[in-house]
Amino acid sequence: MSNAEINIPNAKARGEWAELRFMARAAELGLRVAKPWGDNSPYDLAVDCAGHFLRIQIKCTRYKRQHSYVCTICSSHVPYTPDQLDFIAAYVIPADAWYILPIRATRRQSALVLSPHLTKSKYGKYQEAWHLLQR
């Protein structure tokens, strides 16, 4: 099954699936991932980077607008802040593309427009930027 055919209608189930996809890709790259107990943390996962934990919120999208994808990156319409997490990992499902964005790069926006097909897009430098988690 290609990613274009994946249709998980329940948003919570889709988010959990995206977390699993992130953990699998991170493990392939040799990253160590930890998951906080419960679901009341502002971040979904942490990556152990030489004894320092990077807090990561996982988001995913399949919502296409023209030739790009819109990914909501807030919680209950409130943007995340640097005191809550370090990175947003946004997964564009149909393109099978990850964006690893430092929280400061999101500039407290509630959504991002991601264009995996454009190498010089606004967030292009963060596409597959797993090295940012491997300081």
What is the tens place of the pLDDT at every residue in 79-128?
999 999 999 999 999 999 999 999 999 988 889 999 999 888 999 999 99
Contact 56, 41 (CB under 8 A): no
Q: Does the predicted TM-score (pTM) go above 0.85?
A: yes
Please, what are the domains in the chain?
3-133 (3.40.1350.10)
d(Cα 71, Cα 17) in Å, to the nearest integer?
16
Residue identified by tokens 């190498």 is 119
- How far from chain centre, in Å, is Cα 71? 9
- Give the rounded percent of residues in the chain with a pLDDT score beyond 90: 70
Please list, in sequence order, all residues whose beta carbon lies within 8 angstroms of the beta carbon of residue 38, skipping any fewer than 6 positions away. none
Q: Which of 6-10, 44-48, 64-68, 129-133 has the lowest mean pLDDT?
A: 6-10
Specify the pLDDT at position 103.
Answer: 96
Residue (of 43, 30, 17) closest to 103 by Cα position: 43
